[in-house]
Structure 1
Amino acid sequence: MNRHLLEVSEFNATGYAPVVDFQAWRVAMLNYIDELDADKIDNFQCHNETDEVFVLLSGKCILFCAEVGEDNNIGEIMSWDMQPNKVYNIKRGVYHTHTLTEDAKVLIIENSDTSDDNSPKIMIDKAVNKQLAIITSSLWGALYSR
């Protein structure tokens, strides 16, 4: 059999890892990592050159998007409790972050050249961090008991 017909990939460790890169696009997986617990998130990130697509495969994930003022401070925070098998497209230039349950697995599609060089971060203070924890608690109740 020709081994170039199919490539099968998976990622089951904690955190984020690309699993397929091809020309201009990348498929990655995001699994639970404790630094993305709502009460531990320390930044919002945006991608200057690409949209980014998220698909929840298992578990639970909340996508947070934030308006950012001219002073680079986080303004209004919007949240989406992701539903399995729906496609969530974060538009280019939108600051975002996410929190996941320990059993979560999220598929990510982005440009293959997406990196820290073209994806600035805004560090958040304890007040914004507390907002994320409150939103998570209100959406997940007992699943998030910090």
Structure 2
Amino acid sequence: MNSHLLEVSEYNTAGYAPVVDFQAWRVAILNYIDELEPDQIDNFQCHNETDEVFVLLSGKCILFCAEVDDKNNIIDIISWDMKIHKTYNIKRGVYHTHTLSKDAKVLIVENSDTGDHNSPKIMIDDTVGYKLKKITSQLWPSS
């Protein structure tokens, strides 16, 4: 193929992987991974320097956003059962996580320098973990 004209990428392994990095932006794919099962999620993450865009390509994904107080304690969780091909833009500084069905594939667009150094995490306790499981079972009762 003429790689100077077109680059074709795919990612079909469990978890997250960038597929295109160019200057200030990155496109990545997130596939199902066990650690994003509702009973295994252990943190919410935010990005201090960028918004982050999610597009569900296949399967199911619930996007969770945490409302936090001034000490970064989670006070509420808002969730969206993502619809295929709709764009979900998580604003900079919003703590979020997600759970995916086993057949899910999510496209992610973010700044290319997004990483642990500018994306703090809030570790969750059993109460928040219970809420994630409860929300998931309400949105996906047959799962």
The answer to whether residue 62 in structure 2 is matched with residue 86 in structure 1 is no
Report the secondary structure of 1:92's partner residue.
Answer: coil
Q: Note the alpha carbon deviations across 1:69-120, whole angstroms, 9 max, x for none.
A: 1122111100000000000000000000000000000000000000000000
Q: % of aligned pairs identical?
A: 76
The answer to whether residue 103 in structure 2 is matched with residue 103 in structure 1 is yes
CA distance in 1, matches of 2:67, 2:3: 47
Instruction: Give ranges in structure 1 of 5+ residues lacking alignment.
Output: none
| 2:42 aligned residue | 42
Give the deviation of 1:3 after TM superposition: 2.5
The answer to whether residue 130 in structure 2 is matched with residue 130 in structure 1 is yes
CA distance in 1, matches of 2:73, 2:2: 53
Q: Note the alpha carbon deviations across 1:114-138, whole angstroms, 9 max, x for none.
A: 0000000000001100100000000
Runs (4+) of structure 1 moved beyond 2 Å? none
Matches within 5 A, 1:15-34: 15-34=15-34
Report the secondary structure of 1:132's partner residue.
Answer: helix
Q: Note the alpha carbon deviations across 1:39-61, whole angstroms, 9 max, x for none.
A: 11000000000000000000000
CA distance in 2, matches of 1:77, 1:2: 47
CA distance in 1, matches of 2:14, 2:3: 29
| 1:2 aligned residue | 2
The two structures have a TM-score, normalised by structure 1, of: 0.96
Residue type matched to 1:31 in 2?
A: N
Q: How many residues are paired up? A: 143
CA distance in 2, matches of 1:75, 1:15: 28
| 1:115 aligned residue | 115
CA distance in 2, matches of 1:90, 1:60: 18
The two structures have a TM-score, normalised by structure 2, of: 0.98
Residue type matched to 1:105 in 2?
A: K
CA distance in 2, matches of 1:109, 1:18: 9
Give the deviation of 1:14 after TM superposition: 0.3
Instruction: Give ranges in structure 2 of 5+ residues lacking alignment.
Output: none
RMSD after superposition: 0.8
